Amino acid sequence: MRFFIPYVKVAIPAPLFKMFEAVLELFVPLVMTAIIDVGIENGDKSFILKHGLILVGLGAAGLLMSVTAQFFAAKTAVGFSKDLKSALFRKIQTLSFSELDTVGNATLINRMTADADKLQTGINMTLRLFLRSPFIVFGAAIMAFTIDTGSAFYFCVAIPLLSVIVFGIMLGTVPLYAKVQAALDKSLLTANENLDGLRVIRAFNMQKKEVERFKCETEDYASKAVFSSKVSSLLNPLTFIIVNAALIAILYSGAVEVNLGELTKGELIAIVNYMSQILVELIKLADLIILLTKSLASANRISEVFEIGEKR
């Protein structure tokens, strides 16, 4: 956190502009409702054109907000990563030879490159999506309630189920990614030892044994990586199943209300659009959470290096 604090002022505009973009996005289904219920229903071409231009304006403003937010997010993430890598490199230079031997050169290199890059990407995506996605999810649900309470009831069922799945898988994958990184460190250490001691290995005719050892370690790494990927890959299909089941229920109940005259076609399409927005944002949020679990595992590994220096 001490490397992030200097960039707080630069980071604040990123989620704010993303929130503004989200607000504009929530107005799009309402404009579509007006086009369908008034413009198309009455054959009013000027009304359709006017509201079509409003949609274009909302899209252009949203694009401007998005680009601005991503600029500040990238500037924050890259600056944080630069300071972190510099401090980590300086800390490694202060370690004693016994500490370097205990930790291993391979894992230090891995933590200063791959782990730091994961943290950089995690901060970038968090600033862009962590506030925007929940805001869209709950904002779309509230907007759906203002249109039709009966159809919006399905939002109350779908959102808690989706939240349980997303956070449940997140809690399950955090320790898995830590094990994957540890297995990668082990295989890199073996490769580094073999390169450093190549002449000794050849002198004692240990090539086959070392090849077998490296093969076992890489297979262990591969199995752990595949298993963690299988667990995290459950997110998208499970969220798709729940959201599409909710869409079917909304369309069925909405069609009945349209026939009874209690709901217009444009309002039904707006509710479906809000559910679609929730689906898209939850998929983004799920991907972000997977990325955050990897970043947290990397953050712990980097912290371990700083702690070694502090203990000494």
Give the chain's largest Cα–Cα span.
Answer: 90
Task: Tell whether 310 is covered by a domain.
Answer: no
User: How far is it, in rounded angstroms, from Cα 132 to Cα 194?
Assistant: 48
Instruction: Give residue 309's pLDDT.
Output: 57
**Residues spanned by the domain of 269:** 5-300
Number of domains the chain contains? 1
Q: Is residue 311 part of a domain?
A: no
In a domain, 242, yes or no: yes
pLDDT tens, the chain, 312 aa long: 889 999 999 999 999 999 999 999 999 998 998 999 888 888 888 999 999 999 999 999 999 999 999 999 999 999 999 999 999 999 988 888 888 877 777 778 888 888 899 899 999 988 988 788 888 888 888 888 888 877 778 878 887 888 788 778 777 777 787 788 778 778 877 887 787 787 877 777 888 888 888 888 888 888 988 988 888 788 778 888 888 888 888 888 888 888 888 888 888 888 888 888 887 787 787 778 778 877 887 888 889 888 885 644
| Phi, psi for 8 (deg, rounded to 5) | -60, -45
Where do we find the tokens 């933590």? 111
CATH number at residue 146: 1.20.1560.10
**Residue 291 maps to a domain:** yes
Residue 281 lies in a domain: yes
Q: What is the pLDDT of residue 288?
A: 82
* Residue 134 falls inside a structural domain: yes
Mention every residue, 6+ apart, whose C-beta is less than 8 A from residue 152: 141, 144, 145, 271
H or E segment and range at residue 16: helix 13-34
pTM greater than 0.75 (yes/no): no
Q: Is residue 132 part of a domain?
A: yes
pLDDT at 310: 64
On whether residue 121 sits in a domain, the answer given is: yes
Q: Which of 265, 258, 266 is nearest to 32 (CA)?
A: 266
